[in-house]
Structure 1
Amino acid sequence: MKKIDLTNWKRKEHFDFFSKMASPIFGLVTEVNCDECYKNSKENGKSFFANYLHKSMIAVNSVDELKYRIIDNEIIEFETIHAGITIAREDETFGFGFVNFSSDFETFNNELNNEILEVKKCSGLRLNNDDIKKDLIRHSTIPWNSFSGLLHPTNFDQKESVPKITFGKFIIREGKRMLPVSIEAHHGLVDGFHIAKYLSEFQRQLDKE
């Protein structure tokens, strides 16, 4: 990881402006076409969830601004961002999981499956220090419903800098499977342009075999 030199940082004024707000978080809700990813998953015996989650993580790690975090009043850029996830249990609760990112799908998927098993064996939130970790991005999935809007709980912490990405249940529109995506980030670190870069790369990954 490296420290951003705030004195020469092109976003210094943006960061100072938005960081003074009670809630500097902004976000948007949109859709991506997951048709090819879904077909590829079914044809190759992959988990659709694991497949699109991995592609999302590739996209996250392609955007420098999504790797910025506020730590001890400094801006740090991590070299690699990992996946924080929520995992549902049969008792209708969920727990938090952590999956190290790898560009290799099989490596990532193996760790994801192991983490799913660990969460399902225990109870409670299983925080695993995720409230301390900063080199992650928080992914959640709402597989029961599609959505066109989403509201996350917040503690109005001006230094909360870990982005959140949430997926919904895909819907079929004009013969294509469309996956709802919500993304939120600290506006002092991330603009709509950077979210657009993530979404563009995510779509490119989804369209690959």
Structure 2
Amino acid sequence: MKKINIETWKRRDHFKLFSKFEEPFFGVVVNIDCSKAYRNAKAANKSFFLYYLYRALKAANALEEFRYRILGEDVVLHEYASVSTTINRPNGTFGFAYFDYHTDENAFIANAQKSIQEVQNTEGLIPSQAGGSEIHFSALPWIDFTSLSHARSFSFPDSCPKISFGKIVDKDGGKSMAVSIHIHHGLADGYHVGQFAAAFQKLMDET
């Protein structure tokens, strides 16, 4: 973790402006073509959720802006962003699973599967910590949404990006998925969200 010198930071003015907002997050929804990724995941007998989650996390980790966090009065840059994701339970509730990023996809999936199983066999929630390295992920596989908002406590000093995945739908002979991206405007702009979306799509298109 590296502390940023805000006074010499290129985002100094942006950070000082948007960090004063009651709601400093902005969000967009993009559509990701997942035709190739879906076929590849099924051919490899992998969970499609973990398949696309790994690629989304890999794309986010390639961008500094998705690894900045606010810690007290400071801005820090984490070496890598980790995962905090909602996991559905058989009783209709959900819990939070936490696991780290691995450059090795198989290691990432194995670690994720272990964390998911633990959540599904327990009860309760584990709250996030301010300034943590995680990205808040969630999946709404029942809904092909066109917009999305998040429940937020404005008194909680949150700066973690939030990425949500929608229902897989058939479109023009292929498959498409809505993806919502919310991020603190003091730490990133629309340009960086566009970079993330392009990087994620490229990883989903790999053969």
When normalised by structure 1's length, the TM-score is: 0.96
> Are the counterparts in 1 of residues 131 and 159 from structure 2 also a CA contact under 8 Å?
no
> Are the counterparts in 1 of residues 69 and 131 from structure 2 also a CA contact under 8 Å?
no
Match of 1:109? 109
Question: What is the SS of the residue equivalent to 1:203?
Answer: helix
Identity %: 37
Task: Report how far residue 133 of structure 1 moved.
Answer: 5.9
Task: Report how far residue 44 of structure 1 moved.
Answer: 1.3
Listed one character per residue, the Cα deviations across residues 73-96 of structure 1 (whole Å, up to 9, x for unaligned) are 101000111111110001000000
Matches within 5 A, 1:40-55: 40-55=40-55
Q: Which sections of structure 1, spanning at least 5 residues, go unmatched?
A: none
Match of 2:199? 201
Matches within 5 A, 1:24-173: 24-125=24-125, 127=126, 130-132=128-130, 134-157=132-155, 159-173=157-171
Match of 2:183? 185
> Are the counterparts in 1 of residues 17 and 186 from structure 2 also a CA contact under 8 Å?
yes
Partners of 1:150 and 1:29 in 2: CA distance: 8
Task: Report how far residue 198 of structure 1 moved.
Answer: 0.7
Partners of 1:180 and 1:194 in 2: CA distance: 18
Partners of 1:7 and 1:18 in 2: CA distance: 15
> Are the counterparts in 2 of residues 19 and 159 from structure 1 also a CA contact under 8 Å?
no
Question: What is the SS of the residue equivalent to 1:170?
Answer: strand
Partners of 2:176 and 2:184 in 1: CA distance: 26
Task: Report how far residue 201 of structure 1 moved.
Answer: 0.6
**How many residue pairs align between the two structures?**
207
Match of 1:17? 17
Q: Which sections of structure 2, spanning at least 5 residues, go unmatched?
A: none
Task: Report how far residue 158 of structure 1 moved.
Answer: 7.7
The AA in structure 2 aligned to 1:131 is: Q
Listed one character per residue, the Cα deviations across residues 42-82 of structure 1 (whole Å, up to 9, x for unaligned) are 11111111100000010010010110000021010001111
Question: What is the SS of the residue equivalent to 1:181?
Answer: strand
> Are the counterparts in 2 of residues 20 and 158 from structure 1 also a CA contact under 8 Å?
no
Listed one character per residue, the Cα deviations across residues 106-159 of structure 1 (whole Å, up to 9, x for unaligned) are 10000111011100111122x0x5334611101000111211011111112484
Partners of 1:110 and 1:158 in 2: CA distance: 32
When normalised by structure 2's length, the TM-score is: 0.96
Partners of 1:176 and 1:158 in 2: CA distance: 41
Partners of 1:21 and 1:106 in 2: CA distance: 41
Pairwise CA RMSD: 1.2
